[in-house]
């Protein structure tokens, strides 16, 4: 769903229990946006599932340049 809303995005999602999720999203769409606006794009992509099937969501939203400046991508972790 995130990839459909943010074409070209790199998305990694992890969940230990299928209700609490951690997502790492790398997208050019985040360029020039503050953290809140980036998170809103991700929440909008997930729609009504947030608060229903998705009880908790931790988001790491980065531009490709920001992601390149960090260590190698890892699976998002819960907890």
What local confidence, expressed as pLDDT, does residue 74 receive?
58
User: Does 17 fall in a domain?
Assistant: yes
Helix, strand, coil content of the chain in percent (nearest 5) = 35, 30, 40
Its domain, for residue 28, covers 2-68
Residue 27 near residue 63, CB atoms below 8 Å: yes
Q: CB count, 10 Å around CB of 16?
A: 11
Strands 56-62 vs 10-15: parallel, antiparallel or unpaired: unpaired
CATH assignment of the domain containing 27 = 3.30.300.90
Task: Report the predicted TM-score, pTM, of the whole model to 2 decimal places.
Answer: 0.85
Q: What is the pLDDT along the chain (79 residues), one digit of tens a residue?
A: 999 999 999 999 999 999 899 999 999 999 999 999 999 999 999 999 998 999 999 999 999 999 998 765 555 666 5
Domain count within the chain: 1
What local confidence, expressed as pLDDT, does residue 24 receive?
96
């Amino acid at each position: 769903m995130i990839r459909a809303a943010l074409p070209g995005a790199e998305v990694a999602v992890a969940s230990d229990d299928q209700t609490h999720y951690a997502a790492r999203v790398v997208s050019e769409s985040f360029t020039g946006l503050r953290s809140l606006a980036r998170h809103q794009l991700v929440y909008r992509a997930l729609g009504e599932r947030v608060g229903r099937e998705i009880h908790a969501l931790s988001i790491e939203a980065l531009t490709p340049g920001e992601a390149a400046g960090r260590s190698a991508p890892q699976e998002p972790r819960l907890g």
